[in-house]
Amino acid sequence: MPLLDVRDLSVVFQRDNKPFTAVDGVSFTVEPGQAVGLVGESGCGKSVTSLAIMGLLPRRGNKVTGEVLFDDTDLLKLRPQELRDRRGRDIGMIFQDPLSSLNPVIPLGLQVAEVLERHQGKKRQEALREARKLLDAVGIPDPTRRLKEFPHQLSGGMRQRALIAIALACKPRLLIADEPTTALDVTIQAQILTLLKELVEGSGTALIMITHDLGVVAGLCDTVNVLYAGKVVERAARHDLFGAPRHPYTHGLLQSVPRLDVERGGRLHQIRGSVNDNIPWSEGCAFAPRCDRVIDACIGETVPLEPAFRGGALRCTNPVPQEVPA
Among residues 3, 22, 94, 200, the one that binds ligand ATP under rule CB under 6 A: 22
Residues that contact Mg ion, how many (by CB under 5 A) = 2
Stretch that binds Mg ion, among 43-51, 243-251, 284-292, 293-301 (CB under 5 A): 43-51
182-221 residues near ligand ATP, rule: CB under 6 A: 212
Residue 7 touches which member of ligand ATP, Mg ion, none, C-beta under 5-8 Å by kind = none
Closest C-alpha among 89, 295, 288, 75 to residue 173: 89
Helix (H, G, I), strand (E, B) or coil at 1: coil
The residues, any chain, with a CB within 8 Å of residue 279's CB and separated by 6 or more, are 285, 286, 288, 289, 299
Specify the 3-state DSSP secondary structure of 114.
helix
309 is a contact residue toward ligand ATP (CB under 6 A): no
Picked from Mg ion, ligand ATP, none, the partner binding residue 44 (CB below 5 to 8 A depending on kind) is: ligand ATP
* Least Cβ distance, residue 210 to Mg ion (angstroms): 7
H or E element: which one contains 65?
A: strand 63-70
- The distance of closest approach from Cβ of residue 262 to Mg ion in the complex, given in angstroms and rounded to an integer, is 28
CA distance 58 to 159: 26
Q: What are phi and psi of 151, to 5 degrees?
A: -50, -35
Residue partners of 182: CB distance under 8 A and separation at least 6: 96, 211, 212, 213
Report d(CA 46, CA 61) in Å as an integer: 20
For 222, other C-beta atoms within 10 Å of its C-beta total 17
**According to the binding rule CB under 6 A, does residue 25 interact with ligand ATP?**
no
CB of 309 to ligand ATP, least distance (A): 26
Closest contact distance (angstroms) between CB of 132 and ligand ATP is 33
Q: Which is nearer to Mg ion, 93 or 147 (CB)?
A: 93
- Which lies closer to Mg ion via its Cβ, residue 47 or residue 250? 47
- 13 contact choice in ligand ATP, Mg ion, none (CB below 5 to 8 Å, kind-dependent): ligand ATP
Rounded to a whole number of angstroms, the minimum distance from the CB of residue 314 to Mg ion is 24
- Edge to edge, what strands does the sheet with 73-74 contain? 18-30, 4-15, 63-70, 73-74
CA-closest candidate to residue 49, choices 107, 17, 7, 112 = 7
**Cβ closest to ligand ATP, residue 110 vs residue 218:** 218
Least distance (Å) from ligand ATP to the CB of residue 110? Answer: 29
Residues in region 27-66 near ligand ATP by CB under 6 A: 40, 42-48
> Which of 76, 78, 80, 55 is CA-nearest to residue 66?
76
Query: If binding is defined by CB under 5 A, does position 47 make contact with Mg ion?
Result: yes
Residue 325 Cβ vs ligand ATP, minimum distance, rounded to whole Å: 28
Q: What single letter denotes the amino acid at residue 184?
A: L
> Residue 194: enclosing H or E segment and its boundaries?
helix 186-203
15 binds ligand ATP (CB under 6 A): yes
Closest to ligand ATP by CB, 125 or 270: 270
Shortest spacing between CB 280 and Mg ion, in angstroms: 22
Give the residues lining the site for Mg ion (CB under 5 A). Answer: 46-47
Give the residues lining the site for ligand ATP (CB under 6 A). Answer: 13, 15, 20, 22, 40, 42-48, 212
